[in-house]
Each structure stands twice: as C-alpha cells, then as structure tokens.
Amino acid sequence: MSPRLLAALTAALTLSFAASPLLVPDFGGFEPDQFPVPQVAPPVQPAGYAFAIWGVIYLWLIVGMGFGLLRRAQDPRWQAMRAPLCVSLAVGTSWLPVAVQSPVWAAVLIWVMLLSALLALYRAPEADRIWAAYPIGLYAGWLSAASCVALGLVSAGYGYLDAQAAALIFVFIALVLASAVQSSLRRTPTYALAVIWALVAVVVQNRAGDQLIAALAAGGAAALLIPAYKALRSERRSHEVA
C-alpha cells in the first residue's frame, strides 16, 4: 500500500472509530444482567464521569491523523505506526456493537485494540508528538486501563473471582502494565496520564465502599506520576538538544 493511501486509510478509520458510538447511542457500559453473576456497581470499574475522556481521544486522534494526511502523508517517520493503528481503529469501530452482545468477545477485542495501539505508540514519531504520539498515548493509556477492567468484569461476572478479588487483581495488573510501558517508552506522558485518570475514577467509585481497592488505585495513580514526570523531562531535554 502506498504511503499516501495508508495515511488516507488511517484518517478514514479514525473517523469511523469516532463515529462508532452512533451505532449504539444508548451504550453506557455493560448491563448487570449480561453476566451470569450480575455486576451491579462493580468495584473494578471507574466512576462514570471518567468515560468522558473518549471525547478528548476521538477529537485528538481526528485532528492528529488529519494533520498526518495533509502534512505528513509520505513522511517515513509516520509510516511505521499507521498499520498497527489501523488495526486498532478498525477493531474499535466494531467494538460497541459487539459489547452489547457479548462481554467476553468485547474483552477479547479490546485487548486486540490495546496491543495494536501499543505497537503504534512505540512506533510513533518523536517529531510531531502533539499530532501523533500524544493522542495515541492517551488512547493506548485508556485502553490499558479498560482492558484490565474488562477482564475484571468477566472474571467476576462469570464467577471465577468475587468482585473484590477481581478488582484488586486487575487494578494491580493495570498498574504493572502501565508502569512497564511508560518506563520503557521514556516519552509520551499522555499514556500514563490516561491510566492515572482511570485509577482516580476507581478511587471515586470505591470511596464510600471498598477502601482497600480505593487505596490500591490511589497508590497506583501516585506511583505512575514518577514515570510520567521522567518521560516529560526526557522530552524536554531532547527538545533542548534539538
């Protein structure tokens, strides 16, 4: 596929992904009765306000990939990230219709979205970071949290774990995953910031309930500030050298 065509495909899939909520306009998360063990106010799930981050993700990706199409269509520094990002966005376009039918398949698909988004993030150019790496970092960071939430919901919803154990295990996994990614990436602090946003919302979800889960999420959010700050400092130093 030619570079210009791939750039156009990336922009088109970004638009289809951002428009996908129109396919399921009433979706507000998994319904409790979609699981054999109904999940009512599950502690692993962030408070509802946190999902507003999708508006920022959609808009930033549209603007960034539009810039890439118009100004960087044949730039080789952009090319490597586009193919895995296209995979993630294509799967993401179909995610909501699948989610209303099957939480299990939704959990599988969101991990496909995450892994391909992470590959795109690692390949994203250091130049033009505001248009490429930063929006993809925010997207991949939120997916890192959401993927672990999905596994927590499925584990508790199918009776493999109780709700508290599922929350503790998968919040911890999200923290380990995010720490590993941000520490190895050494740039793009928007990745950690998205995970921190999700963890703070888990604290809010559990502030009047399970204090152990709230404490783990709060500690994880605080811990992620360290690699996020290091990534920001690293970018500033590289900018000064350039």
pLDDT of residue 1: 80
Domain contains 41: no
- Whether 26 maps to a domain, the answer reads no
Q: What tokens does 190 get?
A: 């928007």
pLDDT string in tens for the chain (242-residue length): 899 999 999 999 999 999 999 988 878 789 999 999 999 999 999 999 999 999 999 999 999 999 999 999 999 999 999 999 999 999 999 999 999 999 999 999 999 999 999 999 999 999 899 999 999 999 999 999 999 999 999 999 999 999 999 999 999 999 999 999 999 999 999 999 999 999 999 999 999 888 999 999 999 999 999 999 999 998 888 765 55
Structural domains counted in the chain: 1
* Of the candidates 194, 160, 154, 156, the residue with the CA atom closest to the CA atom of residue 174: 194
The answer to whether residue 28 is domain-embedded is no
Q: Is residue 36 part of a domain?
A: no
Place of tokens 């490597």: 80
Domain membership of residue 123 (yes or no) is: yes
- Asked whether residue 194 is assigned to any structural domain, the reply reads yes
> d(Cα 242, Cα 236) in Å, to the nearest integer?
10
Look at residue 83 and tell me if it is in a domain.
Answer: yes
The answer to the question of residue 11 being in a domain is: yes
Q: Which CA distances in Å does 197 have to 33, 146, 217?
A: 27, 11, 10
Q: Give me the domain span that covers residue 85.
A: 3-19+49-241
